[in-house]
A and B are shown apart, each in its own frame.
Chain A
Amino acid sequence: MSDINKEWPLWEVFVRSKAGLDHKHCGSLHAADAKMAIQMARDVYTRRQEGCSVWVVQSDQIVASDPGDKDMYFDPAEDKVYRHPTFYQLPKAVDHM
């Protein structure tokens, strides 16, 4: 069995598909350091001009919400329909507002 401590750390890869758009998570890879992670992300995730900018971040640096708390966290927004513009009925003449 290989020694797990010898494994290169895991990185998450974010790619900006074109200027003006957000970076979007697209996958992960193993690399020894940040420079190698960027180079490999280029080779693995942008072989067909899928991007013009790449971010990498070590996976263990990401803090995520707990899926067990999903309901408690996100359901309170469910009954606040007045936060959406479609909640408000306006006369046709001004409805484009």
Chain B
Amino acid sequence: MYTQAMDTMGKEPGDGTKPVRSADEMRLQERFDERIDAGDFIEAKDWMPDHYRKTLLRQISQHAHSEIVGMLPEGNWISRAPTLKRKAILLAKVQDEGGHGLYLYAAAETLGTSRDQMLDALHTGKAKYSSIFNYPTLTWADMGVIGWLVDGAAIMNQVPICRCSYAPYARAMIRICREESFHQRQGYEALLTMMQNGTQAQKEMVQDAVNRWWWPSIMMFGPPDDQSPNSAQSMRWGIKRVSNDELRQKFIDATVEQAKILGVTLPDPDLKWNEQRQAHDHGPIDWEEFWRVIAGDGPCNRERLGARVKAWDDGAWVREAALAHSRKQQQRDIKEAA
């Protein structure tokens, strides 16, 4: 799966630190700050500042939405996978993403918002999800590149969240990261198979997919640190542990070597090793494109949201029938017991 610096993705009205009111609340706030400073975990029923709760709820729910929407671009290729083996792998991966969404919704629910409320926010366009899923999956090579680059970027982003100060989120992330590594490896292996044993056309298909996904992938880390106003507070609270630019750099440095072994080039003429920094320099990122896609104007925004809403609406009768069946069963049990 996949997340980006969700703290950059729009705010709800009423956000912002409220003035502390009573002496009691001030004591609670002090104690909370001490626990954060000491590296303690915060649990669901512990006292927490309103702004901390809201920030987490926004980040975790948008992370959950990303997992669920992220099933769509890959689900698109299940019926067209080239072999039975690849189909089974892709099915397992998409099923994992659904599971990851569930872990995250469950973590967000502990903050006092129901699953239906969160889904409502997604379906009405109030909540965001990762911009990467608003790009189309045009060829089979896209499945490999999504695993390699998109899941690779997600892993880079998610590993530090395993140490998030909010324990239910940290626990969900540990479970997710454990399952994620298979996603990246299967993608790389699928590409390697085409690059080593494929036809010229298949090799070109891989390169084309890399060209299309490279820039959106490095945008997943969010805007540069100096344009990421909420990051400082999230760092202070231990919700975020490593900055956007640091993570992006780490990802690029790791990927360059992998691209070489795969036999593809990365579509950035300015990508060069900088001996002094002991890191790769890269060319400018088109942040206008990033903000445009986040704001709803990417290639597939309307299609993705439309598919989610349709699935939810079409499933309404199933949810209601299951609940009606359960109530009937309970009444029958009561009658029999009487």
Contacts and interface: CB of A to CB of B under 8 A. Distances in A.
Interface in A4-52: 4, 6-8, 10, 26-30, 32-33, 36, 43-44, 47-48
B33 interface: no
B99 interface: yes
A29 B319 CA distance: 14
Interface of B is mostly: helix
Interface residues of B, number: 28
Nearest to B178: A48
A61 interface: no
Interface stretch (B6-14, B110-118, B284-292): B110-118
- 9 smallest beta-carbon distances between A and B, as pairs: A32-B322, A2-B116, A33-B326, A32-B326, A67-B45, A28-B106, A32-B323, A44-B99, A7-B116
Interface string B299-317: 0000000000000000000
A2 B119 contact: yes
B109 interface: yes
Nearest to B318: A32
B190 interface: no
10 contacts: A4-B117, A6-B116, A7-B114, A27-B171, A27-B172, A32-B322, A32-B323, A32-B325, A43-B95, A47-B92
A7 B117 CA distance: 10
A97 interface: no
Contact of A7 (B43, B46, B95, B115): B115
Taking each of A36, A44, A66, which has the highest tally of chain B beta carbons within 10 Å of its own beta carbon? Answer: A44
A48 B319 CA distance: 27
B43 A44 contact: no
Interface of B: 43, 45-46, 92, 95-96, 99, 102-103, 106, 109, 114-117, 119-120, 171-172, 175, 179, 319-320, 322-323, 325-326, 329
Nearest to A5: B323
Contacts of A47: 92, 95-96, 99
Contact of B102 (A2, A3, A44, A66): A44
A77 interface: no
A64 interface: yes
B117 A2 contact: yes
A4 B116 contact: yes
B63 to A, nearest CB: 16
Contact of A1 (B99, B117, B320): B117
A36 B116 contact: no
A70 to B, nearest CB: 9
A78 to B, nearest CB: 17
Nearest to A13: B106
Contacts of A1: 116-117, 120
Contacts of A27: 103, 106, 171-172, 175
Contacts of B96: 47
Nearest to A29: B102
Contacts of B99: 43-44, 47
Given A1-B120, A6-B320, 8 more contacts: A7-B115, A28-B109, A32-B326, A33-B325, A33-B329, A43-B95, A47-B96, A67-B46
Contacts of B92: 47
